[in-house]
Amino acid sequence: MATTTDVRGEPATLNNDEILRYSRHLIMPEVGMEGQQKLKAARVLCIGAGGLGSPLALYLAAAGVGTLGMVDFDVVDYTNLQRQIIHTTADVGRKKLESAGDKLKAINPFLNLRKFETKLTSENALELFRQFDIVADGTDNFATRYLVNDACVLTGKPNVYGSIFRFEGQASVFATKEGPCYRCLYPEPPPPGLVPSCAEGGVLGILPGLVGVMQATEVIKLILGKGEPLIGRLLLIDALGMKFRELKLRKNPDCPACGTHPTVTKLIDYNEFCGIRGEEKPVESSVSEIQVEELKRRLDAGEPLFVLDVREPHEYQICNIGGHLIPLGDLPKRVHELDSSREIVAHCRSGVRSAKAVAFLRQAGFRKVHNLAGGILAWADRVDPKMPKY
C-alpha cells in the first residue's frame, strides 16, 4: 500500500510555463496534474548541501517540489568537488547554501528556496521541522542522524534516510506513522572509534549520487502517494559488486523513540549521546617535537635519522618523504622492525597520529623519538612546495 504524506499548504495551481516545464510528468498517469500540484504544494527540508544533498536537491528542484528548505553552514572546499555536484570549482570558498541556491534557482526559477544557514541543533530542530512536510537526511555523522530521527518522530515528519561509506550505501524511510524509525534499527550509536568507523575513510564519488537520487525518488513517491516506499525496508547498495539487497525492518515496540512507551520525549544532547566529548587535544605535551626545517637540514647533512611514516599505504602513495611505513594501527605488532638505539622521527599527515605513535614508542622503551610537527602537510608548505597536499 502506498502511503500518502499529509502535504499541507494552499492548493497549488500551475501556470502555462510550469505546465510546459512539467509536461513529461503531466502525461504520466502516476503523476498527472494532481500529482504535479501535490509536488508544488510540498515542503521538503534537506539536511546538508553536501554529497547526498547535492543530487537530492537538484532533482527535487527539477521535479517541481514547490518549497525546498536547506540546512547547512559549511563552505565549499576543494575536496568536496569530487562528489558534491551542486558546487563548481568557481564556488570554492563560497557558502554552500549560496552556491547551491544559485544552481537550484537556475534549474527552476519557480522554486521557493528557504536557506537556513545554521547548524541543526536540539534547540532549533523541532521548530524547523514543523515548517516542512518531509525531512531528507543527508548528514554524515551519527550525532546529527539521531537528532534528525528523534526530531522527525517528535514532529511526525517522515525521515527519508540515506547513508554512505566508501562504496556501500543504505537507504530507507523512517519515522512514518506505521513504520520503524532509525532507533528501531540502531537504538544506540557505536562508541567513537569502534567498529563501523574505518581507518580508511573516503567515499567513491558516484555513491552519494546513487543514494541521494534514491532519497529523491522516495521523497517524490511520498508526496505523490504512489508506489511502494522504503518504509520498513533497508536497502543496502554495494556499488563495487553493483548488488542491491533488501532487509526487513520492524517497528520495535520497545523503541525508545517511537515505541509504545517512549523515553525520548524531547531532544537531548546528541554529541554526548554519541560519546563525542568537547574539543580534545590529542597531541601530548610530553612528546618531543622536531620542525620540518630542522629535519630537512639534518637529513641533508647526512645524519642517520630514521624516518617513520605512520600513515596508511594509500596515503603513502599520494606523497611521501621516503620514510619507513608502518601504519599507526600496526605499530604494536610491528614495533620489532624499529631499532631503539637509533634516533627516530615519526610523521603522519598533520602530526596527530605520529604524536600518538611517539607516545606509544616511548612507553615501549624507545628514548630517542620525535614527532614531526605539522606532519607532511608542513613539509609541503615549508620545505617542498611541489609536494601534493590532501
Partner 1 sequence: MAKIHIPTPLRQYADKHATVEVNAGTVGEALTGLVSKHPDLRRHLYTDEGKLRAFVNVYLNDEDIRYLQKEGTALKDNDSISIVPSIAGGSQDIDEVANLRIVELNSALPTCCCPACCC
Residues within the interface to partner 1 (CB under 8 A): 50-52, 80, 83, 139-142, 145, 163-168, 170, 185-190, 192-203, 207-208, 234, 236, 241, 245-250, 282, 327-329, 331-332, 348-350, 352-353, 356, 360, 363-365, 390
Residue type, 298: R
CA distance 8 to 242: 38
Q: What are phi and psi of 343, to 5 degrees?
A: -80, 125
CA distance 55 to 372: 41
CA distance 128 to 110: 22
User: CB under 8 Å to 234, separation ≥6 — which residues?
Assistant: 170, 171, 172, 185, 246, 247, 248, 249
- Give me the least distance between CB of 109 and partner 1, in Å please: 29
Per annotation, catalytic residue among 46, 181, 198, 319? 198
- Nearest CB to partner 1, comparing residues 110 and 360: 360
Closest CA to 41 of 70, 5, 1: 5
Closest CA to 221 of 45, 14, 54, 60: 60
CA distance 126 to 107: 30
- Nearest CB to partner 1, comparing residues 1 and 199: 199
- Give me the least distance between CB of 3 and partner 1, in Å please: 20
- Give me the least distance between CB of 318 and partner 1, in Å please: 11
- Nearest CB to partner 1, comparing residues 186 and 316: 186
- Give me the least distance between CB of 25 and partner 1, in Å please: 30
Residue 319 designated active-site = no
Residue 198 designated active-site = yes
- Grid coordinates 554529541 are at which residue? 271
CA distance 190 to 229: 28
Q: How far is CA 367 from CA 171, 302, 324, in A?
A: 51, 21, 18
- Give me the least distance between CB of 83 and partner 1, in Å please: 7
- Nearest CB to partner 1, comparing residues 304 and 365: 365
3-state secondary structure of 76: coil
Per annotation, catalytic residue among 46, 255, 319, 348? 348
Cell numbers standing for residue 76 = 565549499
- Nearest CB to partner 1, comparing residues 304 and 332: 332
The residues annotated as belonging to the active site are 198, 348
